[in-house]
Each structure stands twice: as C-alpha cells, then as structure tokens.
Chain A
Amino acid sequence: MNDEADVRTRARVTVDRADGDVVRLRLSGRWTLDTRPFTAADAFEYAMTTGDTRVVVETDAQLEWDSTLLLFLRAVIAEAESRQMSVDLVGLPAGARRLLALANTTPEYKELRAEDAAPTLVGRIGSQTIATMGSGADVLAFIGEACVGLLRLLTGRARFQRSELLRVVQEVGVQALPIVSLITFLVGVILAYVGAVQLRALGAQVYVADLVSVAMTREMGAMMAAIVMAGRTGAAFAAELGTMQVSEEIDALTTFGISPMEFLVLPRMFALAVMMPLLCLYADLLGLLGGAAVGVGLLQLGGLEYYQRSVQAVALGDFAAGLIKASVFGVLVAIAGCLRGMQSGRSSGAVGAATTSAVVTGIVLIIVSDAVLTVLFDVVHL
C-alpha cells in the first residue's frame, strides 16, 4: 500500500483529526467500479470517539472517481447523520458535489411507492379472488357479445372487411397446411408404431390399420390440428389484437362507433370455425398415410390389405365425430386468442402475456371440451 503505483490502482482513505472533535477523511487513488470499494464503517472505525461532531471530506487532486465514490459518500453522510455529526464536503470534486446534491433534491414520485405494490397475504388472496371473479364475468360478457355478433353476421348486418376475412382465412387455412401435414403424419407414424409393438405380441399386427384409422379420424386428427392452430393462430390473434390495443387502433374503432367485436373478432372466429373442419379432414388423411407408411414399409403388411382394413374399420360416424370436434375446437381457439388479445394491457410485456395466455387457454379449452364431447358422443352412440 505504500507503493506509489499501488496508490494509483486502488481506493485509499486516510483518517486523521484536525481539531479535537473533527474527523478528516482524505480520499486518494482510484474510486471506480473496478476497484474494491470501501464501506463507510471501515472509514469510521478508525479514531472515532463519541465526542466527534464534524466530518470533513477532502480529496486528492489526482483522484479518479465514478459512482463508487458517490456510494461511499452517501454512506458516510448517512452514518454521520445517524451519529448527529455534520459533514463538510467542500474538498470534493465539483462534479461529485453536484451529483450528490442532485440525488438529494430530485423529487420522488410519491404516488407510486413500494408500499402500494406489496400488499399482505390476505390482501393478495382477496384481490386475486376479485380479479378471478371479474375475469370470469369478462369471459361470459365476451362470449355473449360474440354470440350477438354472430347473429348479426348471419343476418347480414355485421360490418367487417371482406378482404380482412379472406386474409384470415388464408392464414388459418392454406398457410397452416405444412405444419399440420408434418405433425399429423408423424402422429400417424407414432400411433402405428406403438400399436404394432403391442399387437405383435398377440400376432395381430394387421389390426394396426384399424387402430390408426379409428384413432386418427375420431380423435387425433381434430385434436392435433386444433393444438397446432392454438399455438399458431390463437397466439397470432392475441398478438395482433394486443398490438392494436397498444397502438390505440381498437380505441379508434370504438370512437368511430365501429364494434371491434364485429370488425376484428367475428371474421377471425368465422374463419377458424370454417377452416378447422377442412384442416381436420386433411389431418385425418395425412395421419392415415403416416400409419400406412409404417404398416406397409416396416410391418410388411400389404398395401391393399392395409387399405381394406382401414376402410372396414372406419365408419362415417367416426369422421363426423372428428369434424364436430374440430369445429368446436376452432371456435374455442378463436375465442381464447381474441379474448386474450382484446384484454391485453398497453405494453409490450402485456402483449407477450396475452399471447402466452391465449395458447394456454386454447389448449386447456381443447382438452376439456374434447373430454366432454367424447362422453357426449358415447351417450348418443356416435
């Protein structure tokens, strides 16, 4: 520490007393963020008596400093105040003195203090409950409004742009084909594999065709297509509407007396409700092809044999069940996406949250409604 070079590379404090009751801190060296900082307690530990009434801080002319020095000084001031000592900062670099003064004089935003943001446990539970009930009511109101809008659409009184509808139809239809193809083909492959392993033990490999075709048409085609759409389209709807919320486009519609429900939500719901059954049919076909690829290519079942078993196994009712499910899923995915988008807050973070929530809500709704529909179809023997 006595070395001259060492003095230049680290923070240094010399403490002495000028008069009987004045402590003098002389700062030198480097007071920057890359050196080990001093704590105020270190400085006061030396030579402090209860009789001291004043701290004088002085600095070396060659002192290098940044926020580290300010942190130290603020701590010294706080420490001195707690000991009822006065602090004399006249010996400081002018810049440091001004920054310290600025930090003390810039008024706080009293409105938004931390105490507002940290309620008690009971308070949190209470406000969560109120929020949950409120959001339940919002969902109901949204669905109600959507139904009214749908009625207006069916009676030809709803106002929306045809070009917008066509754009959404293209987005949720044609443009979704590649990803739906990939996913459902692979699901067909997986089903065939899993089935083959079990059925081989019984020497009943040929039933793989039955398994794949029934599972795809009744269940997996609709569900996989719907889940892809929840991740792809539901998220897109939420992000699109959320961004429109941020940029006040939705407010602009409202002040012109144009219902955002009719103008933005209905075309999207309509497009998904119409395109989902078509996507589902396509998904069924690709799934069957995936199963056939495994059956014919790996299990050495004859192509014709596989085809015939599939045709025998599947009834029209199986397709119907899948298509009904697909329509329901389509509407639910659209509702989840649009609802979360319309509820979105006015920041980029809120749009992100709305998008996530749209996907989660969409998938939950798909699975729950699938369970309900499966039971229902069993009751009506579909």
Chain B
Amino acid sequence: MTSASHIPTRSRPRIEVRDLEMVYGDRVIQRDLNFAVEPGDIFVIMGPSGSGKSTLLRHMVGLVPPARGDVYYDDASFWTADTTDRQRILRRVGVLYQEGALWSSMTLAENIGLPVEQFTDLPQTTIRSIASLKLALVGLAGFEDFYPSQVSGGMRKRAGLARAMALDPDVLFFDEPSSGLDPLNSRLLDDLIVELRDSLGATVVMVTHELASIFAIATNSVFLDETAKTITAAGHPLKLLHECPDPKVRHFLTRGEKA
C-alpha cells in the first residue's frame, strides 16, 4: 500500500455523514450514523447482509433522501443544496454499481462519453479519446465499440469502473466491487482500486463484505450492525480485528472462527 504522501495534490473533499437515519417504508434500517471520510482514504462500509450498507451508499451519492440527517461534502450540505450545487458535488463523484449498470443501448465508449458530454463542451473526437484512455486504464483497450451485452460480467464491471472515472472524480464509490468476480479477478480489481487512488488521487468509499479486500486495501472503516441499527465499530479493520471490544465485529472479521 502506498502511503498518502505520494498522492498528487488536488482538492479532495472531506465527506461527512451526520446523524443520518435511513428507513425502508416504516422500518428504520439504521439511525444516528456519524462518520467522516478523510481525503485519500480507502474507506470501507462493512456489515452483515441486510444491514443497509448499499442503502447508505445510495444516500451518500444522492439517490435516496435520508429520513433524517445529512451528508456534507467539505462542510457543504448535500441534501439541502439546490440543484446547481448538487450537480457541482455530483460532478466530483464517480460510482461503480454492483453489476456495472452500463447503459445497455450504448457501446462501452458511448457509456464513458456520455457523462463527459454532459459536463463539458469537448468535441466528439476528444470525448472518444477520453473514453479510449479510460478503457485502457481498466484493461479494456480495443473494446470501445462493444455493447455491454457482448462482454463478460467481469469486463462489464471494469467498464463500469472506467465510466465511474470518466470525469476524473475526486471521490469514487464502489458498491460491492468484488461480488460476482472470481478470487483472482477480485484481487486484480483491488489492486486497480489502490492504483487508481494513488495515481488519480481520489478518495475511495467502498461497500463490501469481502474480508480479503477489506484487509488488503482499507485504511478506515465503519461496521453497521443490523440489530443495534447503528455503527458499532469504526477504525482500521486490522485494528478492529484485534482490539474491537464488540465480539460481533471480531466474529465478522474472522468469518466466525475463533481468533
């Protein structure tokens, strides 16, 4: 892991979640969520299935309004901001969805080109070159004119990552990046994430329960508990593994084996 000192200097926001409450219908999933993601972190949101990890990510990237509380990007509230300010924040954010979520009616190059078109006035040839560059970064050079349905699941995921990086975001969000990937590809994706964090200088927020990934790359984490309905542990995962007072967290981090 490269230390934070190598990271190119650029303005990366500090993301702060304050007093967030998430509901599903009438049911409260999580409440009183408070944590901050520091610039340059690889921040992992972990917890058992059904604890609301992905939902928390959806709150952080502006897809679902919280029942209470707010998300702050550099002390600017996201949910009380007007449309223009929100757009400005979203412009700095890239999201990799669980299955890639590529737009199926467009080629891989068009998928990457669309957000660039949305936020810039660049000519088509430049946009096309940007798309080729991003595809090359994730090892998909030469696949510009393929449709998502014509490539494998792992390739779709990498193309999704290329699209998430289309606008050189300051923050990258990953929703279960290793789900559906074999261990080797999952490991390659982990390396790619670290590489991108170091070269692009982006902050990474990742939802996952893949322990190998968590221990390999995370620099900070929170643990969502589905029965306590809030964060029961926070800190570096390796530290939590050895020192967390909550047996449930240690249990999770050791896959239930006695430490």
Interface residues of A (CB under 8 A from B): 109-111, 116, 159, 161, 164, 167, 244, 247-249, 251-258
Separation of A247 and B98 alpha carbons in the complex (Å): 9
CB distance from B192 to the nearest CB of A (A): 19
Residues B61 and A255 in contact, CB atoms below 8 Å apart: yes
Q: Are A255 and B99 within 8 A (Cβ)?
A: no
Is the CB of B87 closer than 8 A to any CB of chain A? yes
Residue from A116, A159, A167, A251 in contact with B97 in the complex, judged by beta carbons closer than 8 Å: A251
Collect the chain A residues with CB atoms within 8 Å of residue B200's CB.
Answer: none
Query: Could you tell me if A249 and B98 are in contact, using CB atoms closer than 8 angstroms?
Result: no
Contact between B90 and A257, CB atoms less than 8 A apart: yes
B180 at the interface (CB under 8 A from A): no
User: Which residues of B sit under 8 angstroms from A254, Cβ to Cβ?
Assistant: 62-63
- Stretch of B112-120, B124-132, B245-253 on the interface side: B112-120
Q: Contact between A255 and B118 (Cβ–Cβ < 8 Å)?
A: no
| Complex Cα gap A216–B95 (Å) | 53
Q: Is B102 an interface residue (CB 8 A)?
A: yes
Residues from chain A with Cβ under 8 Å of B63 in the complex: 251, 254-255
The interface residues of chain B lying within 8 Å CB-to-CB of A256 are 90, 114-115, 118, 167
Question: Is B31 on the interface with A (CB-CB < 8 A)?
Answer: no
Which of chain B's residues have a CB closer than 8 A to the CB of A257?
A: 86-87, 90-91, 118-119
B32 on interface, CB distance cutoff 8 Å: no
Looking across the interface, which residue of chain A has its beta carbon closest to that of B229?
A111
List of B residues within 8 angstroms of A161 by Cβ: 105-106
Cβ-defined contact, A249 with B114, below 8 A: no
A167 to B101, CA, bound (A): 21
Q: Which of B62, B97, B105, B167 contacts A164 (CB 8 A)?
A: B105
Is A167's CB under 8 angstroms from B98's CB? no
Considering the chains assembled together, what is the distance between the CA atoms of A251 and B50 in angstroms?
Answer: 20
Q: Are B114 and A248 in contact (CB under 8 A)?
A: no
Once A164-B105, A249-B102 are accepted as A-B contacts, the answer to whether A255 and B95 lie under 8 Å apart by CB is yes
Instruction: Judge whether B226 is part of the interface by a CB distance below 8 angstroms.
Output: yes
> Is B226 in contact with A252, judged by CB distance below 8 angstroms?
no
Q: How far is the CB of B102 from chain A (nearest CB, A)?
A: 7
CA of A257 to CA of B84, assembled, Å: 10
Q: Given contacts A111-B50, A258-B114, is CB(A252)–CB(B90) below 8 Å? A: no
Which residues on A sit within 8 Å (CB–CB) of B61?
A: 255
Q: How large is the interface on B (under 10, 10 to 19, 20 to 34, 35 or more residues)?
A: 20 to 34
- Measured in the bound complex, the distance between the Cα atoms of B61 and A116 in whole Å is 30
Nearest residue (CB) in B for A250 is B101
Is B5 on the interface with A (CB-CB < 8 A)? no
Known: A252-B163, A256-B118. 18 other contacts (CB 8 A): A109-B50, A111-B50, A111-B226, A161-B105, A164-B105, A248-B101, A249-B102, A249-B103, A249-B104, A252-B102, A253-B103, A255-B61, A255-B63, A255-B90, A256-B114, A257-B86, A257-B87, A258-B115
B101 interface neighbour in A116, A164, A252, A258, Cβ under 8 Å: A252
Q: In the bound complex, how far is the Cα of B42 from the Cα of A89, in angstroms?
A: 52
Of A109, A252, A253, chain B has the most CB atoms within 10 Å of the CB of: A252
Closest CB pairs A-B (n = 8)? A248-B101, A256-B115, A248-B97, A252-B101, A257-B87, A255-B95, A257-B90, A255-B61
B58 within 8 A of A: yes
| CB atoms of A247 and B118 under 8 A apart | no
> Which residues does chain A contribute within 8 Å of B90, judged by CB atoms?
255-257
Q: How far is the CA of A161 from the CA of B61 in the complex (A)?
A: 25
B207 within 8 A of A: no
Asked if B109 is at the interface of the complex by the 8 Å CB criterion, the answer is no
* Chain B residues whose CB sits within 8 angstroms of the CB of A258 once the complex forms: 114-115, 118
* Bound-state Cα–Cα, A62 to B203, Å: 64
Min distance, Cβ B251 to any Cβ of chain A, angstroms = 12
Known contacts A111-B50, A256-B118, A257-B119; A251/B104 CB under 8 A = no
- CB of B93 closer than 8 Å to a CB of A: yes
A/B interface sample: 24 pairs, CB < 8 A:
A111-B27, A111-B226, A116-B27, A161-B105, A161-B106, A167-B105, A244-B104, A247-B101, A248-B98, A248-B99, A251-B97, A252-B95, A252-B97, A252-B101, A252-B103, A253-B103, A254-B62, A255-B63, A255-B95, A256-B90, A257-B86, A257-B87, A257-B90, A258-B115
Neighbouring B residues of A251 by C-beta, 8 Å? 58, 63, 95, 97, 101
In whole angstroms, what is the CA distance A167 to B105 when docked?
A: 10
A355 to B97, CA, bound (A): 25
A342, chain B: closest CB distance, angstroms: 14
Rounded to whole angstroms, the CA-CA distance of A252 and B90 in the bound complex is: 11
Q: CB-CB < 8 A to A167: which residues of B?
A: 105
In chain B, positions 171-189 with a C-beta closer than 8 Å to chain A are none
Interface centre among A109, A253, A255 (most CB of B within 10 A): A255
* Whole-angstrom CA separation of A161 from B105 in the bound complex: 10
Task: Enumerate chain A residues within 8 angstroms of B97, measured Cβ to Cβ.
Answer: 248, 251-252
- Chain A residue nearest to B97 (CB atoms) is A248
Residues from chain B with Cβ under 8 Å of A255 in the complex: 61-63, 90, 93, 95
Q: Shortest distance in angstroms between A290's beta carbon and chain B's nearest beta carbon?
A: 37
Residues of A within 8 A of B115 (CB): 256, 258
In Å, the complex CA distance between A164 and B117 comes to 16
Interface centre among B63, B226, B227 (most CB of A within 10 A): B63
**Could you say which residues of chain A place their CB within 8 Å of the CB of B87?**
257
